């Protein structure tokens, strides 16, 4: 995959920035401007763009203004729909659409309401566990229930953090949250016919994921090794302990636990290897992309994995056209598609981190990579691989460090050591899981693969714990505000511009 390092005048980047600005302004204005005002302004700007077709500069400005107004209008529509929800005490039928997980005294799960005032809406439910009959143990993904509880608007529990839990719930499709007393629910037959086709597909995909997790559980891995494997391969982080999450965060390895371009890229590569030698290249690409998107639906369609899937899809199509370049335009296209589908995703932390990491790589990779002379890089493949890993890690860190400080309050100083150690092991884990599924008909061969998987996962977890505990590995409790984050990105941009200018001056200087 080739990366276009020239970032001058990318048209889709300007469109994406206009859309983002519109969503941000629309969120800031809130109820100050009604939905129809944004819509009328959008139509007016589009008409101006049509009228000024002979003046391309005016037309370009009006089209960007239309994109800005589109973002504000979409957000206003989303907020208007949210305000129509009916909350309060009610009885409803619902389908369990996530694997129930025990958290202290409650059983947490996601419910999709099939009847009642919140029909076809997703809610986050906490069900009080009954310690006598223990009916909660028989509740599983796909079961129907009848319940009575108070449906509440999503709300925040912690005010000292920049992380907005209520907004996170809304971004991920939750329209309400509720607490269900153990006597106020019972299992019931709930027909799936009232659910949308997409929801039924998602439910089937999640049930298949649960069967895969049961299959992986049978491998006999240690508890936290299994939890890491499940997070890396199936996107289920519910079994990760708090201490394990903390260690990965402090070591700068949290990105390994969130499905992203690394994971989808490996899957794409493995499927490509399986199809080598097939002359029907277009059919092979269609098959691979179908498999990729099926996997994306199965793991829950998180923003980071959606971004990766969209970029891989575009990459596959430009490959068919013999244009093997991955540029900022492709990243901008992925952002546009996701923001049009749901403007609230702009505020999702994983969306921001994922896009800024890739943006950092696209912008900084080539300037940093060529700081080392070609004579040194071409001494061996190992040198090129090692330097490439260092540059990718630094580039991604430049793109995400301010956001990590803002949302999580920590800075990891050994991120280079972490990536050089953890990324190869994570890659081996993904390959082992893939091969273990393929070798299921051959138990003897599969047991060897599982033994390797168990050993690598154990080494990864212990290594991350050691790095996180090293002196000076991190700074915690960093408190920065929004304006400081903006200033940090401006400083990074200024340093990039200064470096670009100096490099240009050195190249243009006369040689004696």
In sequence order, the 6+-apart residues with CB closer than 8 A to the CB of 144 are 93, 94, 95, 96, 114, 187, 188, 189, 190
Strands (E), 344-482: 411-412, 474-475
- What pLDDT is recorded for position 4? 47
Note whether 113 and 94 are within 8 A (CB).
Answer: yes
Spatial CA neighbour of 462 closest among 216, 228, 255, 218? 228
| Distance, first Cα to last Cα, the chain | 38
Closest CA to 46 of 25, 64, 72: 64
Give strand pairing partners of 148: 91
* Token pair recorded at residue 282: 């277009």
Beta carbons of 257 and 240 less than 8 angstroms apart: yes
Residue 317, by phi and psi: left (phi above 0), alpha (psi -120 to 50) or beta?
alpha
Query: What's residue 8's pLDDT?
Result: 47
CA distance 404 to 144: 39
- Give the other-Cβ count within 10 Å of 270's Cβ: 16
Q: Positive or negative CA dihedral for 275, 280, 285, 291?
A: negative
As given in the structure block, the two tokens for residue 127 are: 């069900």
**Residue position matching structure tokens 């009954």:** 130
Tokens coding 189: 């037959």
For residue 435, give both structure tokens. Answer: 């091969």
Separation between Cα atoms, residue 296 and residue 308, nearest integer Å: 10
Structure tokens at 471: 């002196």
C-alpha span between 10 and 251 (Å, rounded): 35
Opening angle at CA 300, ends 247 and 178, nearest 5: 85
Tokens 């799960």 map to which residue?
109
Phi, psi of 147 (to 5 degrees): -145, 160
Whole-angstrom Cα Rg for the chain: 25
Residue 374: count other Cβ atoms within 10 Å of its Cβ: 9
Go through the chain and tell me how many residues it has.
Answer: 512
- Map 71-109 to HEC letters: HHHHHHHHHHHHHCCCCEEEEEEEEECCCCEEECCEEEE
> In 140-241, which ranges are continuous DSSP H helix?
165-171, 197-217, 223-234
**Spatial separation of the C-alpha atoms in residues 250 and 352, rounded to whole Å:** 19
Read off the tokens for 251: 């070591």
Provide CB contacts within 8 A for 495, sequence distance 6+: none
**H helices within 6-55, ranges in order?**
11-29, 35-51
- In the DSSP assignment, the letter for residue 135 is G
What is the rounded distance in angstroms from the CA atom of residue 152 to the CA atom of residue 132?
28
Structure tokens at 325: 């370049």
Asked whether the beta carbons of 498 and 434 are under 8 A apart, the reply is no
- What are the pLDDT tens digits along the chain (512 aa)? 444 444 445 788 999 999 999 999 998 887 778 888 999 999 999 998 888 777 778 888 899 999 999 999 999 998 888 888 888 999 999 999 888 988 889 999 999 998 888 888 999 999 999 888 888 888 988 899 999 999 999 888 766 667 788 888 888 889 999 999 999 999 988 877 767 788 888 888 888 888 888 888 888 888 888 899 988 888 888 888 888 888 998 888 888 888 877 788 888 888 887 776 666 777 888 888 888 888 888 888 888 888 888 888 888 877 776 665 667 888 898 899 999 989 999 998 888 998 999 899 988 988 888 888 877 777 888 888 888 889 999 999 999 999 999 988 888 898 889 999 998 999 999 889 888 888 888 888 989 999 999 999 999 999 999 999 999 888 888 888 899 999 999 999 998 888 877 777 766 666 55
């Amino acid at each position: 995959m080739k990366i276009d390092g020239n970032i001058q005048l990318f048209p889709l980047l300007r469109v994406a920035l206009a859309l983002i600005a519109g969503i941000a302004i629309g969120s800031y204005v809130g109820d100050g401007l009604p939905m129809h005002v944004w819509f009328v302004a959008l139509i007016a700007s589009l008409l101006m763009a049509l009228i000024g077709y002979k003046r391309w500069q005016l037309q370009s400005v009006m089209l960007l203004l239309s994109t800005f107004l589109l973002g504000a209008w979409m957000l206003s529509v989303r907020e208007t729909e949210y305000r129509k929800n009916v909350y309060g005490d009610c009885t409803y039928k619902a389908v369990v659409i996530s694997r129930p997980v025990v958290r202290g005294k409650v059983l947490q799960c996601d419910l999709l309401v099939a009847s009642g005032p919140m029909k076809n809406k997703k809610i986050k439910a906490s069900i009080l566990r009954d310690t006598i009959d223990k009916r909660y143990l028989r509740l599983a993904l796909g079961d129907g229930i009848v319940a009575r509880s108070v449906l509440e608007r999503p709300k925040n529990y912690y005010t000292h953090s920049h992380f907005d839990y209520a907004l996170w719930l809304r971004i991920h499709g939750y329209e309400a949250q509720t607490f269900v007393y153990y006597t106020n629910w019972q299992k019931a037959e709930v027909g799936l016919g009232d659910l949308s086709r997409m929801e039924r597909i998602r439910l089937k995909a999640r049930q298949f994921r649960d069967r895969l997790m049961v299959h992986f559980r049978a491998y006999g891995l240690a508890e936290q090794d299994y939890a890491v494997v499940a997070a890396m391969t199936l996107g289920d982080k519910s079994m990760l302990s708090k201490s394990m999450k903390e260690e990965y965060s402090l070591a700068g390895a949290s990105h390994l636990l969130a499905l992203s371009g690394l994971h989808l890229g490996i899957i794409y590569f493995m499927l490509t290897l399986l199809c080598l030698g097939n002359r029907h290249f277009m059919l092979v690409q269609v098959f691979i992309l179908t498999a990729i998107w099926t996997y994306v639906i199965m793991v829950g369609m998180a923003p980071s994995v959606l971004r990766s899937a969209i970029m891989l899809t575009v990459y596959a199509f430009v490959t068919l056209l013999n244009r093997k370049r991955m540029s900022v335009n492709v990243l901008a296209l992925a952002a546009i598609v996701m923001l049009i589908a749901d403007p609230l995703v702009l505020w999702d932390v994983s969306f921001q981190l994922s896009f800024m990491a890739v943006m950092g790589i696209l912008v900084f990779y080539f300037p940093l990579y060529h700081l080392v002379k070609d004579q040194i890089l071409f001494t061996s493949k190992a040198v090129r691989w090692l330097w490439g890993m260092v540059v990718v890690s630094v580039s991604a860190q430049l793109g995400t460090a301010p956001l990590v400080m803002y949302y999580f309050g920590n800075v990891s100083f050994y991120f280079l050591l972490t990536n050089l150690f953890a990324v190869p092991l994570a890659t081996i884990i993904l390959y082992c899981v893939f091969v273990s599924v393929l070798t299921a008909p051959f138990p003897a061969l599969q047991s060897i693969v599982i033994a390797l998987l168990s050993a690598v996962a154990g080494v990864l977890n212990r290594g991350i714990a050691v790095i996180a505990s090293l002196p000076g590995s991190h700074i915690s409790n960093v408190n920065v505000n929004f304006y400081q984050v903006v200033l940090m990105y401006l400083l990074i941009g200024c340093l990039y511009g200064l470096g670009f200018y100096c490099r240009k001056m050195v190249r243009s200087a006369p040689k004696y």
